[in-house]
Every structure is written in structure tokens, then in C-alpha cells.
Amino acid sequence: MVINQYTYSKMLIKEHNFLVPLDYDNEEDKKISIFVREIVDEEYGNKGLPYLIFFQGGPGYESPRPITNSGWIKKASQKYRILLLDQRGTGLSTPISQESLSGMDDEGIAKYLTFFRADNIVRDAERIRDNLIKDGKWSVLGQSFGGFCATHYLSFYPNSLDQVFITGGLPPLKAHPDDIYRATYKRVIEKNKLLYKIFPHAKKNARRIADHLIENKIHLPNGDQLTIERFQQLGLSLGFSDGMATLNYLFEKAFINKDLSYSFLKNVLSLQTFDTNPIFSILHESCYAQNFSTDWAANRILGEFPEFEIDRKDEIYFTGEMIYPWMLDKYQSLAPFKKAANFLAKKSDWPMLYDEQRLKNNKVPIAAAVYTNDMYVDREYSMETASIIPNISIWETDIFEHNALRSNGEKVLDSLFSRVI
């Protein structure tokens, strides 16, 4: 159902709301809403362009909100009617938050959250496709975790797809998170080394902040304690094109009169979205799970890498996007999910996300960007997946980082579109 229409920055925009089942195996039970923002360039609005549905990275993040007609949206909206999908539980789709789940017991929360992985996100997309174009096909653009969704789509609904574009998101098909985190921790270590090579003063500044946090109990503006482990989680930014510079400039003005400044603490709070987007924290490891439990893989594997120990006197190393059980105690907004998260970490009967045999018989044209130094989606696993899928064209580059679709979107889509269009 179209709920809004307007023109902004030379973009024709329609906003849709769809009701879908929470559980597609029990369609008569609870319904949730899915929000989609449709965008087409004003110049091309009457040309009957085909649809391109966008799967955002995450898991647990809503689609981008276009401020101007620029970047990848400008490029894609000249060839497609873009559908910016707020994946279930995010944005304006029935949200997951401590407020929205109040009143549920821990077991109920855990069961509810099992319906928010890539498999049901793609089922939502199929329901929307059927509503908009009936038996017609459309194309998919998947960024990061969105590429995981696109690969699931190729595994289970290939006949619905015209073309598929993936940026930094070709997933490992069968790997256990233990091995995935062994690979990505190594990438994070290299990013730390690069940070200190590019910004030598950042090493001293970060160590000073870390020492201050060890010696003092510091609270962020929302009341959460800024522990040294939470400080290390700022490393989530290291894999973005602007992340190292952002952290360097944050650290250099951290202190005023030997105390951490309000400005520094507020910026730390703003940079961390583990609690404002709880799906990311609670289901992050589960997005890899297929008939096995994850059992807090990142936390267990961390001990294999002494580089991240906090008592290293010369430097402090930052972690990446890894999720740890202590977060359910230290992030007050995540605390209501603690028991449910522990239940999900032990769950071993997660359904399969990929059909390797069907992928080996793929006929859908695919173009995928693989970033050589990607900190979040390991290059080796991506290339292994690409090696078994026919009709795929890989563009590998060491020039761009994981967020290239956002930072250099027109260049990325130019390269991918040229491979299949």
C-alpha cells in the first residue's frame, strides 16, 4: 500500500507499507509491517523502469535515507526504480527494541528473534515482489550482509531474479564462525597497524585514554560505563574509508585538563550503535548459523589473539564488529535481551541459508565487488564462494574499503553494471 508520495532533490519518491506474516509457516498468526521507500530519478520517472531492491548491510540496520540525489542512488535510479527496504525489525518496519518487546518473557523474545534472519527478509521481499509485479522478475543489490541476503535469494528463489549485484557481501557458504573470526581478527590487527602507521600520534593518544579508563570509572552521557573493552569496540570504524581518520581526530581532543571531555564521550556514544540497533548485536553471529550453534564464537576466539589484551604497555588494539557476551551487561539498552541472546547462542537447529547445489547451477547474471582488504567479509571466503557459482563476474579491488558503495557509489555501480548490462 502506498502511504506517501512526494518529489525531493529531483527524486520521485513513493513510500509503501506491507503487512507480512512474522512466521511464514503460520501465516494466520502475528503480522508485522515492512516499509519500503521507492525512488526513481525525476527525469526517468515515466519510462517504466524495472525494479531494483536494495538489501542494506548489518544485520539490523535500516536502508539509507537519501539526503540528496547523489552517489549510488543517483546512478541506479537512472536505470531502475530503487526499492529501499527497511529489513524486518529495522527503521519503519515493525522495530526490534527494548520498548517494542516489553512484556515478552525471555523465551518469547528468543523465539521472536529467530524470524529476523536473511531467510525471512528474503521471504518478505518475495511477498513484496508478488504485490508489485506479480510473476515478474526484479534485480537485487546487496551491500555487506545484504549480499548474504542476495545469495540466499539466489539459493531459494532464482526464478524471481533478473540480475544480482553484490558489494562486499559474498558470504561463506558453510564456514563456522570460529574460522570466520580467526580470519577477520587477523584483518583487524592489520587495520590497527595501519592506523598507527598513518597516524603515529594516535597510538600514544589511544594508550593514554585506555590507561585513564583502567584507572577511573568513566560514564558516557547515557549513563553507561565506558570500559576499556567498550573503548576497544571503536575499532568497528577501522574498515571504513574514513574510519581511521575519524578515530585519530577523536583521540587527539579527548582530554581537557587531564579529564576526558564531554565532547569526546558524546562522540564515542554517537559512534557506537550496538544498542540502538539490537538485531546487530543479538543476531550477528546467528547470520552465519546453519544447523549449528555459534556459542559466542568471537568471544571464544579472541583469546587466540594476545594483540587485543588491554595490558600491552606500548599500544592498545581495537576490536572490529565482533560481539561479546559482556555487552549484554554493560550496554543498558541491551540488558533486556541478555537471556534471549544466550539462548540463541546455544541454538543448534538453525535452518540452512544457502543451497550449494542450486548455486552451482546458477543462471542469473551476477556481478560482485570483492574488496581485497575487507575487514568484515573475508576476501578468501568470498572468492571460495565465487568459485562455485557460474555466471558470476568478480571485480576485485584493493583501492576501496568495505563502505565503497557509500563513499564511491557511482564508480562501484559503473563497474558492476558494465559486467551484466
Q: What gap in Å lies between CA 83 and CA 62, rounded to an integer?
A: 12
Q: What gap in Å lies between CA 91 and CA 393, rounded to an integer?
A: 32
Q: What gap in Å lies between CA 382 and CA 370, rounded to an integer?
A: 7
Task: Decide: helix, strand or coil at residue 3.
Answer: strand
In 3D space, the residue among 142, 152, 97, 68 whose CA is nearest the CA of residue 416 turns out to be 142
**Catalytic position from the list 63, 139, 144, 415:** 144
**Helical residues (DSSP H) of 253-326, grouped into ranges:** 262-271, 278-283, 297-302
71 conformational bin, left if phi > 0, alpha if psi -120 to 50, beta if neither = left
**Catalytic position from the list 29, 314, 349, 387:** 349
Q: What gap in Å lies between CA 387 and CA 384, rounded to an integer?
A: 5
Q: What gap in Å lies between CA 142 and CA 164, rounded to an integer?
A: 8
The verdict on whether 144 is a catalytic residue reads: yes
Give whole-number Cα distances, 47 to 44, 112, 419, in Å. Answer: 6, 41, 23
What residues does 371 pair with on adjacent strands? 397
31-41 and 11-21 beta bridge pairing:
antiparallel
214 conformational bin, left if phi > 0, alpha if psi -120 to 50, beta if neither = alpha
Q: What gap in Å lies between CA 257 and CA 203, rounded to an integer?
A: 20
Residue appearing with cell numbers 522478475: 137
Taking the CA of residue 37 as centre, how many other CA atoms within 13 Å lie in the half-sphere pointing to its CB?
20
Find the angle CA(228)-CA(232)-CA(236) to the nearest 5 degrees: 155
Q: What gap in Å lies between CA 372 and CA 378, rounded to an integer?
A: 8
Give whole-number Cα distances, 98 to 233, 279, 280, 363, in Å. Answer: 22, 11, 14, 43
| Complete DSSP assignment for 44-55 | GTTS-PPEEEEE
The verdict on whether 224 is a catalytic residue reads: no
**Catalytic position from the list 16, 212, 284, 402:** 402
| C-alpha cell recorded at residue 212 | 585513564
The verdict on whether 349 is a catalytic residue reads: yes
Task: Decide: helix, strand or coil at residue 256.
Answer: strand
Looking at the chain, the number of H-run helices and the number of E-run strands are 17, 11
Helix 177-198, helix 243-252: angle, nearest 10: 60
* Residue positions annotated with a catalytic role: 144, 349, 402
